[in-house]
Structure 1
Amino acid sequence: MTVARGGRNPPQQPAVWTASRYAVLVALCVSCYGNSIHGELVHDDVWAIVNNPDVRPSSSLFNIFTNDFWGKRMSDNSSHKSYRPFCVLTFKLNILLGGMTPVYFHAVNVCLHCAVTCVLMHTCEQCVFEESRLAFVTSVLFAVHPVHTEAVSGIVGRADLLACLLFLLAFLAYIRSVDVNTSADSTPPTASAGCLVISLLLGTCAMLVKETGITVFGVCVVYDALVLCGPNRHRPGSGLWQLVQIWKPFIKRACVVSSYVLANISIRLWLMGGSMPLFSEQDNPASFAPHLLTRFLTYSYLLYFNTWLLLAPAVLCYDWQVGSIPLVESPWDIRNMATALLAAGMLALSLRCVHSLQCQKNKEVLMGILFLVFPFIPASNLFFRVGFVVAERVLYMPSMGYCILVVHGLGRLLSSVGRWGTAVLSASMLLLLLLFSWKTVLQNRVWLSREALFSSGIWTLPHNAKVHYNYANFLKDSTRHQEAVYHYAIALRLYPRHASALNNLGTLTHDPEQAERYYRRALDINPQHNRALFNLGNLLKSQGKENEAEILLQESINYGPHFADAYSSLASLYADQKRVSEAHEMYSKGIEKCPDSSDLHNNYGVFLVDTGKEELAAAHYQQAIQLKPAHYVAMVNLGRLLRSSNLNKEAESWYKRALLVTRKAEILAPLGALYYNTGRYDEALLVYREAVSLQPENADIWLALAQVLAMAGETKEAEKITREIISRVNRCVECYRLLSSIYSKHGNHSEALESLNMALKQNPDDLSVKAELHFSKGNQLREMNQLDRAFESYKLAVELKPDQSQAWMNMGGIRHIKGDYAAARMYYEKALSLNPGSKLLKENLEKLDRLERRMTGVP
C-alpha cells in the first residue's frame, strides 16, 4: 500500500454505504453505553458538578475562566490546577437546559462518544488506511473498548471525550491547511492559512477542555515532517542553504505552531500562579519514592500496565491508588520483564515505522504510535508529577493509536494467510469485539450508583486502601456506621498513614477520648488536615476548652480558606462567648470567602435572629434558599422568623415549600405548632400524626400531638399518649402539666393536683416553669376550697416569679375572703402595678373600699 503525502484521496464510496457505516458505529456506541444513561452522578461527578459553585445558573460566567475544574481559585494552594473552563461550561449548559437530572449529563457523554467514533473513522479514511473497511474496524474496536467506560459513564470523563473530539478536528484542519499536491522538489506549502488558524484554535479549545488536548500540536508537526514533507529529503550534495529553502514552508509552520504552543503554556503557567499542583503520597506514591531507581522502574512498569489495560481490559477499577500497584524497588522484580517486553515491542514498532518511512509505504504504524504516545505523555510523569497512579479515562485518547495498530496488524495478517486463515482471524476479531462489548455493558453497571461503584472497587482491588476508604465514606453517609468503621479499619491496616480515614473514624466514635485520639493521630500525619483541625476544635469546644478550640478552628480556616463550616463553628464559638462583633466579622469573612455556601448564610441568619436583626436574617435565609433551592432548613428558619412576626400565611407557605423538598418531622412540627396556635386543630392533628409516624421515638412530638388532642376534645387519647410518654421518658414536666389540665377540665381537681405535685417533684430547672406549676397548684387548691394551702402555693409562685399579677390578685382575693382587708389591698395594689389596665382588679379594690367604708360607718 502506498500513501501520497498525507492528504491522499481514498477511493470514493457510495453515499449510502458511507452513511450506513456511520449509522452502524452510532448504533454500536448507543447499544454499548445505553445502560449508562440512567446512572447517578457519582465519585468525582459530585465534586465537579453537584458541589461546584461555578456550574450553578446563578454563578458568574467569569468564575469558570478564573477557577479550576473543581471550582477553586487557580491561585489557591489546594487547587489541582486543572484548568478546563470549556468542559465546565458544558456542565453549566447542561444544568441550564435540563437541571441537575443526571440522564441529560449521561446522554451528552454518549453523544460525544458517538461523535468521536465517527470522526475517528473519517480521520482513518483520510490519513491512515487505504482500505475503508480497516478504518471502519478501527472505529468499531474503539466504540466498544471497555477501557472507555470511565470516560463515557463517568460525567467528568466528558473532558476526555470532548478533548479527543477537538483533537481529531484540529488534526484534520491542520492536514487541510497543507498543499499536498506540490512538486517533490520542495516541501508542501501552506495552502490555507485559515485552516491553520482553525487548527490552532481547535487545539487551544482541546487544551481548555483537558490539558492533554495540547498534544495535538506535537502530532500535527511530526506528521507534517514525516508524512506530508516525507518525500523531500535531503539529497546528496545539497548545501545547508539549499536544504533550508527546501524545508522553508515546513519550518514556517513549525515555528508558528511552536510559538503558539509556548504562548499557551506561558498563559497557563500564569493562570496557575507559577506553581504546580500539590499532591500527596497516596495520590502518586512513586513520585515520592526517595530513590531515582525506584521511580524509574515504577514509571516504566506503569507504561506496561496501561498498555495491558488496552490489550486485555479484564480488570477495571475506578481508582488505582494506595496499594493497587506496589512500587518496583528492585531490578530483580519480576515485573521488570513485562517492562522489557513492552520496550522490545515499542522498539520493533519504531523500526517498522522507520522502514515504512524510508520505503514510502503505508503510514499506519506511524499514525498508531503518534496517536498512542503523544496523548499519553502528560499522564506519564515525564515532565511533571500527576495526581494519580493509573486512570482509565486518560487512556481514551491513546486508545485511538492502540486501535489503529491492532487493525494494522490484523490487516497484515489477513494479507498473508489463506482463505481458512482469513476465516479464523475474522472470527477471532469478531469474538474479541463481542467480548469487549459484553465487558463494556457490564462495566457500565458499576457506574450506575455510588454504592455500585464503591462496592465494585472492594471486589476488584481488595488490597487497595483507597477503595475501602471510599466505600466507608458511602456507608458513613448512609448511616451504616458499623460497616463504615470496619472498612476504615481495613484502609488503615493497608495504609496506616491515611489521615482522612483516621479523621472520619473520629467522627463515628461515641467516645470523646477515643475521637480525640483519632483526630490527633490524623494531625500527627498531616498537621494541615483542615477537617481534622475542625473536628478536634469542635470536640474541645463541646468540652468547654474554648481557648484551644479557637486556635484549632482558626488553623482549620488558615489551611482551608474556603471551608465554610469552619467559619460557622468559630463564629458560633464567639457568639457563645458574647463576642458579638467578632462573630459578625467571622461570618462576614466566611461569606466573602465562601459566597456560595448556603449553610453559612443560613447559620448567619440564625445568629442575626439571636442578635435582634430579623430583617437582615431573613435576607440571608432567602440567599441560602437561592443558592440551594432544596435548603429546607433555611425555609423552616424563615418560616419561624415570619411566624414570630405574626405573618402566619407567609410562614405557612415556607413550611409547605420545605415539605415539597422532603417530608421530615422537623418541618412538620413547626407547621403543626402554627396550626395549633391559630386554632386550626384538625389540620394540626393531621400534621402531628404524620410527624410521629416519621419519628416515633420523639417524645416532644408525641406530647405536642397530645396537647392538640386535648384542645380538640379528644382527652382520652391525649391522656393515653401522655401516660405512654411518661412510661418511656424519665423526666417530663410538661406531661404532668398536660395531665393536670385534662383532669381539671373534667373537674377532677384532686387528680389534677396530684399531677402538679408529680411535676414539682421533678424539680424543673427553669424557675418560670416552677413558678407556673405553683400557680396552677394554687388554682386547683382554690377550686377544692383549700384556701390556706392555695395561698401558700401562690406565695411560692410570686417568690419565684414576682411579675405574676394573677397570682398576686388571687392572694388578695383569698385575704379578701378571709377578712384581712389590709393584706388584700396590698396584694391587689401589687397586682394592679403589674397590670394597670385590669378592670377586675379595679373592681375588687372598689369592693374593698365599700366594705371598709361600711365597717367604719363612713357613707
Structure 2
Amino acid sequence: ETSLWCMLNILLAGMNPFYFHAVNVILHCLVTLVLMYTCDKAVFKDCRLAFVTALFFAVHPIHTEAVTGIVGRADVLACLLFLLAFLSYNRSVDQLYVGEHFPPTASPLFLLLSLFLGTCAMLVKETGVTVFGVCLVYDFFSLSYNGLKLRNGGIQQRPVRPAVSPGCGSPPVPLSGRENGKQQRLAHRGTWSSCHPEEQPSGGLPVPSRAIWAIRSYLTANNNQNFLYTARPFLKRAALVISYVILVLYFRLWIMGGSMPMFSEQDNPASFSPYLLTRFLTYSYLLAFNAWLLLAPITLCYDWQVGSIPLVESIWDVRNLATVFLVLVMTLLSLHCIAAFKKLEHKEVLVGLLFLVFPFIPASNLFFRVGFVVAERVLYMPSMGYCILFVHGLKKLSTWLNKWRITVPTLFALLLLLFSWKTVKQNEIWLSRESLFSSGVKTLPHNAKVHYNYANFLKDQGRNIEAIYHYKTALKLYPRHASALNNLGTLTKDVVEAKDYYRRALQLNPQHNRALFNLGNLLKADWALCWLNHDRLSVGLILKWHFKTCAIKTWFFWS
C-alpha cells in the first residue's frame, strides 16, 4: 500500500520531493489528531490530558526519520491505520454495558471494519498486525473491568427506579442490561473526579501488595461463576480475531514464498553470533537502548549498523545494568496497572504499555531476525505508548512537584521547548544528502556504514581523495565490507591495486555483481595474456562476466 501511495504522489505531483515530504507531514498531523481523540475517548477521558499527550507526540525528535524520510511513510501510515483499527474495535463493543458478563458486541460492522483496517496496516508495515493483539488484551483487561467493579463495589449503585408498568394491572417491565448499566453510569457521573473514580480502601498499600490484592479480589469474585459463560462474548470476538490473524499471516508467508527475508551479518551482527548468551544479552540491551532513545533522544543518527553498538558478550558488561533497570521499570508499571485495576487510571497504564510494547515486538529480534540493529523510524508507533505513560507520570507527580513550587505546566513547557528545538535541528540535518551523511560521521565516527555512505557522496561529487579516506576508514572499522573494497578499486589509478581490491571483494562476497563486472572489464584487455599465463581464475571471471553481460542484454531486449 505504501507503493500505491507513492505512485499516487508521483501521478499528482511528479517527482518533486517537496510534495513527498508534505504528504508525510500531513499524515503525521492526522496521526496526532487521531491519537488525541483516542486518548480522550479510550484512555484519559479528559480532553486536556489527551491534548497534552498529542502535543508531546507531535514534537518528539525520534519521529524525524519517519516523517522527514520518504521511506518512513510506511511507519506513519501504518500508525494511522493502527489507531483507526483500535478505535473501530473499541466502538464495536458495548461501552454502556455494566453487568456480570463481559460486554457484548454491539456492532459487528465496526468489528469487521477493525479487521479490515488492521489488515491494511499490516500490508503497509508488518508491525501493523500487532493492533489485533492490542485490541484483544485491551478488551479482556479494560472493557471487562466494568463487571468486576460492579461485583466488588467499585460502582456504588443507587436504588434503581421502579420498573415501568405499562398499565395498572400489568406486571412491571424489567429494564434491559444496557438501560440498567446506563442508569448506573449516570448515577455516578457526579461522584467521579475528572480523571479517577473513588479510591479503593487499599490505596495506602504499596504497589506489589495492591497488585496481589487486586488479583485475589478478581479471583474471589469469579470463583462462584462459570467463567466460560460470563466471558462468552469476549471469547467469540477473540476466536474470530485470532482465526483471522492466522489466516492473514499464512497468506503473507505464502506471498513471501514460505520463508523469511535473508539478512547479512553487516545488517544485524548480534543475530549471527554463535553464542546464545551474547545474542540474549545484546537483544536485551537493545530493548533498553531503544527505551532510552524515547526517553532522552539526545544522540540520533540515520543508521545504527556496523559497529554502532558493540555486542554484549559478558554478564559483567556494565550495560547490563540498563537492561536490569528496564526490567524493573516494566515490572513496576505492570504491577501498578494491576493494582489500579478498579480505577480509570488502570486504562492509562494499560493502553500506554500496550501501545509501547506490542508494536515493537516485530523489531525486537525476539521471534525472528530483523535487518537492522536500531532503527529510529520503527519507534514511531511505540512512542504513542511512551507519550501516554509520560503524561500519566506527570499527572501522578503533580502533587510532589507543587510542593517544590514547580508546576507541571512549567515542566512540560520546558520539555516541549527542548524537544521542539531538537526536532528542528534534526530536520536541518535531513535537508540534504551532504548534511545527512556528514552528520552521521560526526555522531557515530565508529560506524563503518556512515563512513561508507559519506564516501559514496564524496565520490559522486568528484572529491576522490576524501572518498578514499572514508572508504579506508570504513574498512578499518569493518574489514569485511565488500562494497567499500569495490568502490576503492574504481578510484585507484593503479590497475594491479584495483584488481586486488576487486578480488578481495569477490572473496568476501562471490555474488557481488559490481565487483565482478569491474574486474571483468580490467581483465578483458588481458585475455590473451591470461590465457598464455594459464591464469584460469581470471579467464573464468572473464567468461562469467561475459555470460552475465549477455544475459542482461538479452533480458533488456525481451522486456
User: Any conservation in 2 of the 1:121–1:139 contact (CA below 8 Å)?
Assistant: yes
Tell me whether 1:519 sits opposite 2:434 in the alignment. no
User: Any conservation in 1 of the 2:524–2:542 contact (CA below 8 Å)?
Assistant: no
Tell me whether 1:313 sits opposite 2:307 in the alignment. no
In the alignment, which of 385, 390, 396 is matched to residue 369 of structure 2? 385
Alpha-carbon distance in structure 1 between the residues aligned to 2:343 and 2:36? 26
User: Counterpart of 1:473?
Assistant: 456
User: Any conservation in 1 of the 2:490–2:498 contact (CA below 8 Å)?
Assistant: yes
User: Counterpart of 1:536?
Assistant: 519
Deviations 1:617-670 (A, max 9, x none): xxxxxxxxxxxxxxxxxxxxxxxxxxxxxxxxxxxxxxxxxxxxxxxxxxxxxx
User: Any conservation in 2 of the 1:146–1:443 contact (CA below 8 Å)?
Assistant: yes
User: Counterpart of 1:421?
Assistant: 405
5 Å matches for 1:307-346?
A: 307-346=291-330
Tell me whether 1:245 sits opposite 2:229 in the alignment. yes
Deviations 1:26-85 (A, max 9, x none): xxxxxxxxxxxxxxxxxxxxxxxxxxxxxxxxxxxxxxxxxxxxxxxxxxxxxxxxxxxx
In the alignment, which of 77, 82, 86 is matched to residue 162 of structure 1? 77
User: How far did residue 482 of structure 1 move?
Assistant: 1.0
User: Any conservation in 1 of the 2:98–2:147 contact (CA below 8 Å)?
Assistant: no
Cα separation, partners in 2 of 1:232 and 1:315, compared to 1, 3 Å: same
User: Any conservation in 1 of the 2:458–2:466 contact (CA below 8 Å)?
Assistant: yes
User: How far did residue 416 of structure 1 move?
Assistant: 4.8
Determine helix, strand or coil for the equivalent of 1:332. Answer: coil
Tell me whether 1:498 sits opposite 2:481 in the alignment. yes
User: Counterpart of 2:6?
Assistant: 91
User: How far did residue 232 of structure 1 move?
Assistant: 3.8
In the alignment, which of 371, 378, 383 is matched to residue 399 of structure 1? 383
User: Counterpart of 1:552?
Assistant: 541
User: Counterpart of 1:36?
Assistant: none
Cα separation, partners in 2 of 1:136 and 1:554, compared to 1, 3 Å: farther
Determine helix, strand or coil for the equivalent of 1:435. Answer: helix
Tell me whether 1:212 sits opposite 2:178 in the alignment. no
Cα separation, partners in 2 of 1:312 and 1:555, compared to 1, 3 Å: farther
User: Counterpart of 1:144?
Assistant: 59
In the alignment, which of 93, 101, 106 is matched to residue 21 of structure 2? 106
Alpha-carbon distance in structure 1 between the residues aligned to 2:545 and 2:334? 53
5 Å matches for 1:452-491?
A: 452-491=435-474
User: How far did residue 531 of structure 1 move?
Assistant: 1.9
Alpha-carbon distance in structure 1 between the residues aligned to 2:138 and 2:435? 43
Deviations 1:282-326 (A, max 9, x none): 100100111010001111110111111111111100000011100
- The higher radius of gyration belongs to 1
Alpha-carbon distance in structure 2 between the residues aligned to 1:89 and 1:502? 37
User: Counterpart of 1:635?
Assistant: none
Determine helix, strand or coil for the equivalent of 1:362. Answer: helix
Tell me whether 1:349 sits opposite 2:349 in the alignment. no
User: Any conservation in 2 of the 1:324–1:461 contact (CA below 8 Å)?
Assistant: yes
User: How far did residue 360 of structure 1 move?
Assistant: 6.2
User: Counterpart of 1:587?
Assistant: 553
User: How far did residue 552 of structure 1 move?
Assistant: 3.3
Alpha-carbon distance in structure 2 between the residues aligned to 1:467 and 1:591? 38
Deviations 1:708-756 (A, max 9, x none): xxxxxxxxxxxxxxxxxxxxxxxxxxxxxxxxxxxxxxxxxxxxxxxxx
Determine helix, strand or coil for the equivalent of 1:418. Answer: helix
Amino acid aligned to 1:438? W
User: Any conservation in 1 of the 2:267–2:373 contact (CA below 8 Å)?
Assistant: yes
Deviations 1:525-548 (A, max 9, x none): 222222222221222113335986
Determine helix, strand or coil for the equivalent of 2:145. Answer: coil
Amino acid aligned to 2:239? C
Determine helix, strand or coil for the equivalent of 1:363. Answer: helix
Tell me whether 1:198 sits opposite 2:113 in the alignment. yes
TM-score between both structures, scaled by the size of structure 1: 0.55
In the alignment, which of 335, 348, 357 is matched to residue 364 of structure 1? 348
In the alignment, which of 241, 259, 262 is matched to residue 257 of structure 1? 241
User: Any conservation in 2 of the 1:492–1:501 contact (CA below 8 Å)?
Assistant: yes
Alpha-carbon distance in structure 1 between the residues aligned to 2:219 and 2:339? 18
Amino acid aligned to 2:417? L
Amino acid aligned to 1:589? W
User: How far did residue 523 of structure 1 move?
Assistant: 1.5
User: Counterpart of 2:416?
Assistant: 433
User: How far did residue 588 of structure 1 move?
Assistant: 2.3
Report the RMSD for the aligned CA atoms in angstroms. 2.0
Alpha-carbon distance in structure 1 between the residues aligned to 2:538 and 2:387? 58
Alpha-carbon distance in structure 2 between the residues aligned to 1:371 and 1:532? 45
User: Any conservation in 2 of the 1:164–1:213 contact (CA below 8 Å)?
Assistant: yes
Cα separation, partners in 2 of 1:496 and 1:173, compared to 1, 3 Å: same
Amino acid aligned to 1:451? E
Amino acid aligned to 1:325? I
Deviations 1:453-487 (A, max 9, x none): 10010110011101000101111111111111000
User: Any conservation in 1 of the 2:98–2:146 contact (CA below 8 Å)?
Assistant: no
Tell me whether 1:376 sits opposite 2:360 in the alignment. yes
Deviations 1:174-226 (A, max 9, x none): 00000122241111111111101110000011111111111111100000000
Determine helix, strand or coil for the equivalent of 2:114. Answer: helix
User: Any conservation in 2 of the 1:537–1:550 contact (CA below 8 Å)?
Assistant: no
Amino acid aligned to 1:453? L
Alpha-carbon distance in structure 2 between the residues aligned to 1:555 and 1:229? 66
User: How far did residue 244 of structure 1 move?
Assistant: 0.9
User: Counterpart of 1:302?
Assistant: 286
Cα separation, partners in 2 of 1:542 and 1:447, compared to 1, 3 Å: farther
User: How far did residue 165 of structure 1 move?
Assistant: 0.4
Alpha-carbon distance in structure 2 between the residues aligned to 1:101 and 1:238? 62
Tell me whether 1:175 sits opposite 2:93 in the alignment. no
Alpha-carbon distance in structure 1 between the residues aligned to 2:395 and 2:11? 47
Gaps of 5+ in 1: 1-85, 558-565, 572-584, 596-859
Tell me whether 1:281 sits opposite 2:259 in the alignment. no
User: Counterpart of 2:160?
Assistant: none
User: Any conservation in 2 of the 1:492–1:498 contact (CA below 8 Å)?
Assistant: yes
Alpha-carbon distance in structure 2 between the residues aligned to 1:374 and 1:556? 48
User: Any conservation in 2 of the 1:534–1:552 contact (CA below 8 Å)?
Assistant: no
User: Counterpart of 2:168?
Assistant: none
Amino acid aligned to 1:307? A
Deviations 1:415-459 (A, max 9, x none): 455376352x32221111001001101100111111111001011
Deviations 1:670-692 (A, max 9, x none): xxxxxxxxxxxxxxxxxxxxxxx
Cα separation, partners in 2 of 1:432 and 1:551, compared to 1, 3 Å: same
Gaps of 5+ in 2: 149-217
Deviations 1:60-116 (A, max 9, x none): xxxxxxxxxxxxxxxxxxxxxxxxxx0010100011011100001000000001100
Determine helix, strand or coil for the equivalent of 1:357. Answer: coil
User: Any conservation in 1 of the 2:278–2:311 contact (CA below 8 Å)?
Assistant: yes
Amino acid aligned to 1:588? T
User: Any conservation in 2 of the 1:187–1:246 contact (CA below 8 Å)?
Assistant: yes
User: How far did residue 376 of structure 1 move?
Assistant: 0.4
Moved more, 213-222 or 358-367: 358-367
Amino acid aligned to 2:488? L
Alpha-carbon distance in structure 2 between the residues aligned to 1:215 and 1:288? 26
Alpha-carbon distance in structure 1 between the residues aligned to 2:243 and 2:543? 46
User: How far did residue 354 of structure 1 move?
Assistant: 1.0
Alpha-carbon distance in structure 2 between the residues aligned to 1:201 and 1:226? 23
Cα separation, partners in 2 of 1:303 and 1:490, compared to 1, 3 Å: same
5 Å matches for 1:425-824?
A: 425-544=408-527, 551-552=540-541, 567=548, 570-571=549-550, 587-592=553-558, 595=559
Alpha-carbon distance in structure 1 between the residues aligned to 2:248 and 2:224? 32
